[in-house]
Chain A
C-alpha cells in the first residue's frame, strides 16, 4: 500500500481517497461529487501535464493539477 498525491497516480490505477486539503468552496464541491475520504477513484487520464481525468461514482471528472496535488490517496493493488 502506497500513499501519494493524486497527481502522481498513473492512468488506469484505482485508489482510495485519504484526505483532501483544497480550498473551502472547492472542497465542498468535490465532496458533494462523491470525492470524500474513503471513496474509491479511478484515474483515467494523467499525462503529467494539464488536467487529470478521474472516475468517481461512475462519473468522469476533470481536475486541474493544482487540485489533484492536494488530494492524498492510497493506491489499491
Chain B
C-alpha cells in the first residue's frame, strides 16, 4: 500500500456517467433519465485493491459494467493502460478489454450450464487465437484450474456438479485466462457462506501477490472490503461521496453516509453489544430518476443544514490529500464521530 504510490496506473476513470432512459406507456416514450452512475472518477495502480461499498441500487454494478466495457458510458472515459476503451471498436476494443475482466456476483448464473468447466475456462483462448497456440491450450487450462485451487479432473464436470465456492473459482479462472491487469469483482462472495467466503477471499489475496493484479472489489459486506482493500470508495446514488485509504475511511469517516453505513454494520462480537452507537438512516433511498436537490443525501442525513438542500457539495480533500469527501459539513462534523 505504501509503495502503490509509485506504481503504474492501470485503470483511470474520469467523470464517468451512465444514464438509462426511463420509458413508460404503450409507446415506450422516454419520460426521464435514471442516473445510475453520475460522474465517477477513480484511479487504480498495479497491484492495488480499491473497495467499493454503498447501498443497493447506488450504481456499483453499473460502474463495474462500465469499467469492463459491458456497457457504454453516456459520457466520461475509462482508460486502461493508457488507452481509452470507448474510442476503440471491433478488434482493438476486444484486445484492450482483455486487460480488465469482470467476476460476477452469482456463481450460479455466470457459468453456461451446458459447458464443462474445461470448455468454459478454454473459451477465452478459443475466441482469442493469438493468445496461445492450439496445442498449448489444454495445458494452460490445467494450470489455471490449479492456480484457483481446482483439481484438473474438475475440468470434465458441469456447473451443476460443483459447489458454489468451486463455481466461483471457475469464474475466476476464466477471467485469469486473458492475463488481465485488473479484476473487477462485483460482490464475488455475497452468495457464499462464511467459510466458503473465506476461501475465496484468501484465493484473491494469493492471486494478487502472484500475478500483481489490481482489484476493484465491490461488496455489501464492509468487513470483507476492509480485509482486502487498500483504498475504499463509498457510493451514494451514482456518486462517490467519500474515498480514501482503508484506514481513513474506516477509522475517520467524514461523510455522514459513510458514518451511518459503518455504524450499521454489525460487529461479530456479542461482548461489544450495546457499545455501538448506531446512526439510524430514516426512509428509503431516493429514486435515481428524480434525485433530491442539492446534496442528494440531505433528506436522510442526520447532520443536514439548510444549505444542503440548495447546493450540491463537491468531492474535495479533508485531512489527507488522498481522503476526499463530498459534504458541506465534512470539515466541521456535528459530533465527534460515531
Question: Do A and B actually bind?
Answer: no
* Interface residue ranges, A against B (CB under 8 Å): none
* Interface residue ranges, B against A (CB under 8 Å): none
